[in-house]
Amino acid sequence: MMHQTIEPLLQRQQQQEEDGTTTTTVQAAGGGAVAGHHHHGGSGKLTLLPLVFLIYFEVAGGPYGAERAVKAAGPLFTLLGFLVFPFAWGVPESLVTAELAAALPGNGGFVLWADRAFGPLAGSLLGTWKYFSCVVNIAAYPALVTDYLGQAVVPGSRARTATVAGMTVALSLVNFTGLSVVGWGAVALGFVSLAPFVLMTTMAVPKVRPRRWAAPVSGRKDWRLFLNTLFWNLNYWDSASTMAGEVERPERTFPRALAVAVVLIAASYLLPLMAATGATDAPPEAWVNGYLADAAGIIGGPWLKYWIDAGAVLSSIGMFEAQLSSGSYQLLGMADLGLLPSAFSRRAARFGGTPWVAIAASSAVTLAVSFLGFDDVVATANFLYSLGTLLEFAAFLWLRARRPELKRPYRVPLRLPALAAMCAVPSAFLVYVCAVAGWRVFALAGALTALGVGLHGAMRVCRSKKWLSFNNAAAAEDRRGDHVAGHRV
């Protein structure tokens, strides 16, 4: 019966690919329709190098913003944190992302995974948490740029507000040019923004004194700030999965890109921080946002300081563009699944099929939250991301246990108990991040969770009353595939 369901869909997909650009719904082997594969005649697909740098900017974008970890816990704990955390946290999440992005390579990424495992409410709720985490996180980058530019360039609160708003609007417009342009732009921005840190690290080697790495913090260590800073700098490994439908041969490209990105990101934090803390005598209290540029000036001269200041701007542009793309393609994937109105799946053919409605909506939400304080942004984004990732790990384990027939072109080479242990370490940290959040973060997360549940209910009413247009063909095919597979809850 399953083969009878798959065959006509594959034939229909082949015919539509021959006809040109379209939206198809492809039945994954083992059940469950994979909605949202968009074909553009083979052009504009993301290849390995652009995907590596999109992941790089989704997660890190360089060591900018890591200074507060030194201030909170001192150089030694910071270096240990950036040595261990990319692997203890990044590797498990990367493996989960690689397996599921290859098995279910549709736009929407983790929304699709939760939908397959636990049904549309779980997919919608996970989408709400991750989406708002993403756009709230994006809002931090214009604020971070103003910190690096300094009061001499952006004096006063009104000028700062204007700078944040102007950057948000201007950078959003870049995203309309297409994912391929954004991807190769990320490659260029990556090389230019990393170059001054390579120079700084090289020039610092003769000046490094290991005793400086043990400099103590005056007063008590702020572990909450330290862990939030580590987490904020090293999460979002799964964000690129929302663009899986735009990746060339995702079953091969995603695992390779994630493996390269883990090493690149760990090195991009650890080496510059070792250089800057080991070659300067500044106490931990001096390490505020922007201090890495000051350290570069001490090590190499004013020209290197200005280059790192410029690199902070370029890095923030790269992070903004990569994460705005991720959030927009998540909305596109949710529309393909019938969780949002079909308007969010509209593409601009003139610009390589960019989801212009989803980009505009994400830009508007980002602008609305761009005036929050930096620390509030970090804490709220971390909390929402933690909730979503816990559900994502649960979906991964559920699909491995209950859907063994699902075709997995890349498979994490571990059995279920070992996979549960692998997910337990980052899950414990996620629970801790949630537990130490302040009451304002709890209140905001609770409101957004209620909004997600309410939005799902509202979309069901709108679909049944036909008040809005939905991708009913994909939703119906999805339900039929799930009924055959018998895994809906």
pLDDT tens-digit readout, 405-427: 999 999 999 999 999 999 998 99
121 has a pLDDT exceeding 90: yes
pLDDT at 365: 87
Contact assessment for residue 106 and residue 112, using Cβ atoms and an 8 Å cutoff:
yes
Q: Which of 386, 372, 20, 321 is nearest to 189 (CA)?
A: 321
Inter-residue contact 429 to 224 (CB < 8 Å):
no
**Closest among 209, 186, 206, 195 to 307, alpha carbons compared:** 195
* H/E element, 36: strand 33-39
Q: Which amino acid is at 261?
A: A
Q: Give the integer Cα–Cα distance in Å for 135 and 113.
A: 21
Name, of 103-107, 347-351, 378-382, 440-444, the range with top average pLDDT: 103-107
SS3 22: strand
* Token pair listed for 87: 């692997």
What pLDDT, on the 0 to 100 scale, is given for residue 289?
Answer: 80
* Average pLDDT over the chain, rounded to an integer: 83
DSSP conformation class of 46: B
Return the sign of the alpha-carbon dihedral for residues 250, 253, 256, 260.
Answer: negative
At 179 the pLDDT is: 84
Distance CA 376, CA 441 (A): 8
- Which amino acid would we find at residue 233? N
Residue identified by tokens 């909450």 is 224
How far is 312 from 144, CA to CA, in rounded Å?
8
Please provide the size of the chain in residues. Answer: 489
pLDDT, tens only, 313-330: 888 889 999 999 999 999
More confidently predicted of 243 and 368: 243
In angstroms, the CA 249 to CA 263 distance is 22
DSSP-assigned beta bridge partners for residue 22: 39
CA distance 481 to 484: 5
pLDDT number for residue 203: 97
- Please, which pLDDT band fits residue 152 given cuts at 50, 70 and 90? very low
Model confidence at 76: pLDDT above 80? yes
Give the rounded percent of residues in the chain with a pLDDT score beyond 70.
Answer: 83
Q: Tens digits of per-residue pLDDT, 476-487?
A: 554 444 443 334
Cα 321 to its chain centre, rounded Å, is 11
* Sole residue written with tokens 């799930």: 482
Is residue 24 scored above 50 in pLDDT? Answer: no
> What is the chain's Cα-based Rg?
22
CA–chain centroid gap for 257, Å, is: 14
> Looking at the predicted structure, is the pLDDT value of residue 26 above 50?
no
pLDDT of residue 36: 41
Better-predicted residue by pLDDT, 80 or 167: 80
Q: Considering the entire predicted model, what is its pTM?
A: 0.82
Integer Cα distance of 323 and 242 in angstroms: 10
**Is residue 160 over pLDDT 80?**
no
Cβ(174)–Cβ(189) under 8 Å? no
pLDDT at site 378:
64
* d(C-alpha 171, C-alpha 324), whole Å: 9
pLDDT value of residue 353: 83
Would you tell me how many other CB atoms lie within 10 Å of the CB of residue 199?
16
For 157, other C-beta atoms within 10 Å of its C-beta total 8
Side chain identity at residue 171, one-letter code: L
Q: Look at residue 229 and tell me whether its pLDDT is greater than 90.
A: no
Q: How many CB atoms lie within 10 A of CB 387?
A: 22
Range of 27-31, 227-231, 392-396 with top mean pLDDT: 392-396
Q: Which residue has the higher pLDDT, 361 or 373?
A: 361
Q: What are the DSSP calls for 284-335, one per residue?
A: GGG--TTHHHHHHHHHH-HHHHHHHHHHHHHHHHHHHHHHHHHHHHHHHHHH
**Among 44, 32, 37, CA closest to 14:** 37
- The per-residue pLDDT for range 267-281, each reduced to its tens digit, is 999 999 999 999 999
pLDDT in tens, 461-477: 999 999 999 986 555 55
- Largest Cα–Cα separation, the chain: 71
